[in-house]
Amino acid sequence: MPHHTPVAKRHGDRKAAVGDVGRPPVAWAVPGILFFAVFAIVPLAIAVYLSFCTWDGLDSPTLTGLDNWTRLFNDSEFGQAAWLSLVLTTVSWVFQTPVALLLGVWAAGRQRGRAFLSAIFFIPLLLSTTAIAMLFHALLDPNFGVIRTIGPWLGIDPDVMGSSTGALLVVAFVGGWQFMPFHTLIYQGGARQIPEVLYQAASIDGAGMVRQFFHITLPQLRHTATTSSVLMIVGSLTYFDTVLIMTKGGPGTDTTILPYLMYRTGFQTYDLGYAAAIATALVVVATGVSLLMVRLSGFGSMRSTREGM
Amino acid sequence: MVMAGVLAGCGSGGGGSDSGTITAYVYGDDAVKVQQAAVDTFNKTSKVKVKLVSVPGTDYVNKLRSAMGSPSAPDVFFNWGGGSIKPYVDSDDLVDLTSTIKNDATLKDGFLPAVMTAGGLEGKIYGVPMRGMQPVMLFYNKALFAEHEIEPPKTWEDLQAAIKTFKTAGITPFALGGSDKWPELMWMEYLLDRIGGPEVFRKIQDGDTQGWGDPAVLETARTVEELVDDGAFGKNFNSVDYGNGGAPTLLNKGKAAMHLMGSWEYSTQLGKAPEFAKKDLGWTAFPTVAGGVGDPANVVGNPTNYWSVNARTKHKDTAVAFLKTMASQTYAQALVDNGDVPTTSGAASMLSGSPNPQFASDQYEMVQKAPNFTLSWDQALEAQYATPLLTEISKLFAGKTTPEQFVAAMKAAR
ipTM higher than the 0.85 cut = no
**Residue contact A143–B6, C-beta within 8 A:** no
The answer to which of A142-156, B8-22, B233-247, B276-290 has the lowest mean pLDDT is B8-22
CB-CB neighbors (< 8 A) of A47 in chain B: 2
Contact (CB<8Å) B65/A270: yes
CA A104 to chain centre: 18
| Contacts with B58 from chain A: Cβ below 8 Å | none
The C-alpha angle with vertex B224 and arms to B221 and B228, in degrees rounded to 5, equals 140
Distance CA B212, CA A170 (A): 35
The alpha carbon of residue B397 is apart from the nearest alpha carbon of chain A, in Å, by: 8
User: Alpha-carbon distance A80 to B298, whole Å?
Assistant: 39
Q: Which residue of B has its CA nearest to A145?
A: B246
Whether residue A306 has pLDDT greater than 80: no
HSE of A251 in the Cβ direction (CA atoms, 13 Å)? Answer: 25
Highest mean pLDDT among B54-68, B249-263, B369-383: B249-263
For the cut 90, the answer to whether the pLDDT of residue A281 exceeds it is yes
- Exposed, middle or buried, B354 (CB in 10 Å: 0-12/13-18/19+)? buried
Q: Which among B2, B383, B395 is the nearest to A270, CB-wise?
A: B383
Chain B neighbors of A276, CB-CB under 8 A: 2
- Cα separation, A198 vs A178, in Å, equals 33
Burial of A308 by CB count in 10 Å (0-12 exposed, 13-18 middle, 19+ buried)?
exposed
Q: Cα separation of B364 and B358, whole Å? A: 10
Q: What residues of B are in contact with residue A243 (Cβ under 8 Å)?
A: none
Which residues, 6+ apart, have CB-to-CB distance to A269 below 8 Å? Answer: A275, B383, B384, B386, B387, B388
* Least confident stretch, A160-169, A208-217, B18-27: B18-27
B87 and A56 in contact by Cβ < 8 A?
A: yes
The whole-number pLDDT of residue B141 equals 96
pLDDT band of residue B197 (cuts 50, 70, 90) is very high
Subunit contact A269:B255, Cβ cutoff 8 A: no
Task: Give the range among A9-18, A21-30, B70-79 with minimum mean pLDDT.
Answer: A9-18
Does the pLDDT of residue B11 top 60, yes or no?
Answer: no
pTM confidence score: 0.83
**B244 and A166 Cβ atoms separated by less than 8 Å:** no
**Closest to A142 (Cβ–Cβ): which among B69, B87, B236?**
B236
Secondary structure of residue B301 in the 3-state scheme: strand
What integer is the mean pLDDT of A44-52?
94
CB pairs under 8 A between A and B: 117
Least Cα separation, residue B390 to chain A (angstroms): 9
Q: Please say if the pLDDT value at position B9 is more than 80.
A: no
Instruction: Report how far apart, in Å, the C-alpha atoms of B356 and of each of B336, B341, B362, B407 are.
Output: 10, 11, 10, 41
Phi (first) and psi of residue B51, to 5 degrees: -115, 120
Tens of pLDDT, residue by residue over B130-151, are 999 999 999 999 999 999 999 9
Q: Which of A43, A158, A250 sits opposite B179 (nearest CB)?
A: A250
What residues are paired with B141 via a beta bridge? B281
Is the pLDDT reported for residue A302 higher than 60? no
pLDDT digits (tens, 9 = 90+) for B273-328: 999 999 999 999 999 998 899 999 999 999 999 999 999 999 999 999 999 999 99
Instruction: Show which residues on chain A lie within 8 Å of chain B, measured between beta carbons.
Output: 43, 46-47, 50, 55-59, 134, 137-138, 140-144, 158-163, 167, 247-254, 256, 264, 266-272, 275-276, 279
A269 neighbors B388 (Cβ within 8 angstroms): yes
Residues across chain A? 309
Among the listed ranges B117-121, B197-201, B280-284, which one has the minimum average pLDDT value? B117-121
> Smallest Cβ distance to B250: which of A56, A143, A254?
A143
The answer to whether the CB atoms of B388 and A269 lie below 8 A apart is yes
